[in-house]
Structure 1
Amino acid sequence: MGEKYSERKMETSAINVTRVTEFFLLGFQGSQFLRNVLFLLFLVVYNATICGNLLIITLVSTSKILHTPMYFFISHLAISDILVTTITAPNMLHILLNNGGTITLIGCITQFCFFCSSETFECLLAVMSYDRYVAICNPLRYSSIMTSDICIKYAAMSWLLGIFISLIVSITPSKLNFCGPNIIDHVFCDLVPLLDLACSDAFIVHLEIYVMGIPIVIIPTSIIVVSYTYIISTILRIPSSTGRQKAFSTCSSHLIVVIMFYWTMFCVYVLPTKGRSLSMSKTLSLLYTVFTPLINPIIYTFRNKDIKKAIQDIYYKHRI
């Protein structure tokens, strides 16, 4: 199917150079039964992700006990998770049903732009690490440091940074020439497989990726590492085991989310791809586009006493 499609939907310019106008996303190739099973699995995961993150957003906005900086950031993280999975999952489901799917060059760049913006917003995890550092290492000054105005500014800066970087890394690829194969063996329009099909030199795009990696990877990672170094050092100095356990429980959920996010991104974009099968690359991509947005609300729900209490309060309120 992919070979037949590669002969179509191309334009020939005045200088007789073939220009690709659409791409064919292969998705997961296999039997109809396997694709139907994957479709049902991803459909359930997608709906559960939307419901779980909407639950967190609703609880944080309606429950007074959750009107704190930490839950404010968690609600924004939930919005980001909804965007990430909504940008990729519906099109992925369509590809599974039809054993592949077409997407225009503009549509491909647009999908990557929104995806990059949502993923870049995850740098808010660094802000959340700083919030936990202040709460544990400087508890007496917490309310004066993490004010509502500061929290809004941090969230706004994270969103603006995501939009700014996504525009930069999306505009340049849109100006590349695509004149060869138009088959993308992936589940969505990620930048790496798209650049592999470019006929023109993609050096500038790769340079932009490395430069943009400083504000979206190196700086947030450094903040997280430094914050948790101080947090762990402070917790270890607490004399009672009960006090240490209570202090660690306030940041354990966030630490798990941080490890999951950076581990999956590291495996996909940092580890060498040589020797890695395409199926493995697509499976790793599913971890941070489909399953991580699902696991995040589960972690914050089942490992957080305040959210459990907020759910119980709403349940008993409507029961009465």
Structure 2
Amino acid sequence: MTTFNHSSVTEFILEGLTNNPELQLPLFLLFLGIYVISVVGNLGMIILISITTHLHSPMYYFLSHLSFIDLCYSSVITPKMLVNFVSEKNVISFLECMAQLYFFYFVIAEGYLLTAMAYDRYVAICSPLLYNTIMCHRACSIMMVVVYSLGLFGATVYTTRMSMLFFCGPHIVSHYFCDVIPLLTLSCSSTHSNEILLFVIGGINALAPTLAVLVSYAFILSSILRIRSTEGRSKALGTCSSHLMAVGIFFGSITFMYFKPPSSNTMEQEKVSSVFYTTVIPMLNPLIYSLRNKDVKSALRKAVGGTRENEPD
């Protein structure tokens, strides 16, 4: 990250999700519940995978990293939003704002991680005999290094460019976190290069993973259609269903948010859209993989059962 010394504004005020005082407490309780479920679900998934031997496979290795990324970027956004519901003025310093933007942009890594998970499913279904050879520990580790590197690179490039803008006031961010578009509207300097960079970074990091996932599933579908037994087809589809849901929700929400005409939504509608991918998706992913996965449910039952057995009478 860079040294942020290009702005005369030392702090921002986050406007929040709503200014309606009657909605503050209900929304606080709602998002507190969502955040608690997110933390418990993602942290629980990481611990469960680490302590359960039969979950030590590439698929669950990637899933534990998915939970880690969801836990990180939801913890950057949601706690600050909760503070806004119970305080009169939600102040965030310039450095904190840039840090929030930086770590939020790390969500780029999630798109590439979902791509790696699609490749894992492709190998498992299309080349099952070579699965252990291709998806060895070294290969999975290299994939994760690439995933995190791409996420950190995208976040560093764009946050560095944003920090070079001049903000002279007003300093009220029309959002509940330091998102790109509301910050660009507050800049006194030209934002043309930032807008181009946003389009390029957003385009590459959305289209590249999406195309890779589509190609992977084209081969997967072709392979499944060649399976003669109905039971075999159902089993193969079952191994992909959770991942397909996660991919559809993630890329669908990101595409809707950043690849639409600027005039098509008001800022209030932007806030509602943002809630989905900053708060709801991190909660949904562990639920999708735990409720629709027999191995995870079995491991969870054994873990809970073992805990009860170890309790003193």
Calculate the TM-score normalised by the size of structure 2. 0.93
| Relative contact order, higher structure (CA 8 A, sep 6+) | 2
SS of residue in 1 equivalent to 2:106: helix
Is the CA contact (8 Å cut-off) linking 2:107 and 2:151 kept in structure 1? Answer: yes
- What is the match of residue 173 of structure 1? 162
Match of 1:116 among 105, 108, 117: 105
Is 1:274 aligned with 2:263? yes
Shift, 1:213, TM fit: 3.4
SS of residue in 2 equivalent to 1:60: helix
SS of residue in 1 equivalent to 2:261: coil
| Count of aligned pairs between the two proteins | 303
Match of 1:75 among 39, 61, 64: 64
Is 1:104 aligned with 2:109? no
Is 1:154 aligned with 2:143? yes
Residue 208 of structure 1 aligns with an amino acid whose one-letter code is L
Distance 1:310 1:122 in 2: 27
- What is the match of residue 258 of structure 1? 247
Following TM superposition, where does structure 1 have runs of at least 4 consecutive aligned residues deviating by more than 4 angstroms?
none
Shift, 1:109, TM fit: 1.1
Match of 1:185 among 169, 174, 177: 174
Is 1:316 aligned with 2:311? no
User: CA deviation digits over 1:164-186, x for unaligned, max 9?
Assistant: 11011001111111123211111
Q: Percent identity?
A: 39
Is the CA contact (8 Å cut-off) linking 2:206 and 2:251 kept in structure 1? Answer: no
Is the CA contact (8 Å cut-off) linking 1:26 and 1:99 kept in structure 2? Answer: no
Is the CA contact (8 Å cut-off) linking 1:80 and 1:122 kept in structure 2? Answer: no
SS of residue in 2 equivalent to 1:27: coil
Closer, same or farther in 2 for the Cα pair 1:99/1:287, shift >3 Å?
A: farther
User: CA deviation digits over 1:210-254, x for unaligned, max 9?
Assistant: 332355222211110100111111112211111110000001000
Is 1:249 aligned with 2:252? no
Shift, 1:307, TM fit: 0.3
Distance 2:25 2:44 in 1: 28
User: CA deviation digits over 1:108-129, x for unaligned, max 9?
Assistant: 1111001101343432100100
Shift, 1:21, TM fit: 2.4
Match of 1:307 among 269, 286, 296: 296
Distance 2:46 2:150 in 1: 22
Structure 2 gaps of 5+ residues are 1-6
User: CA deviation digits over 1:186-225, x for unaligned, max 9?
Assistant: 1100011101111111122223223323552222111101
Match of 1:59 among 48, 59, 70: 48
The 5-angstrom pairing of residues 155-234 of structure 1 reads 155-213=144-202, 215-234=204-223
- What is the match of residue 13 of structure 1? none
Is 1:290 aligned with 2:290? no
Distance 1:119 1:85 in 2: 13
SS of residue in 1 equivalent to 2:263: coil
Shift, 1:311, TM fit: 0.8
Closer, same or farther in 2 for the Cα pair 1:214/1:276, shift >3 Å?
A: closer
- What is the match of residue 128 of structure 1? 117
Shift, 1:87, TM fit: 0.1
- What is the match of residue 88 of structure 1? 77
Calculate the TM-score normalised by the size of structure 1. 0.91
Residue 232 of structure 1 aligns with an amino acid whose one-letter code is L
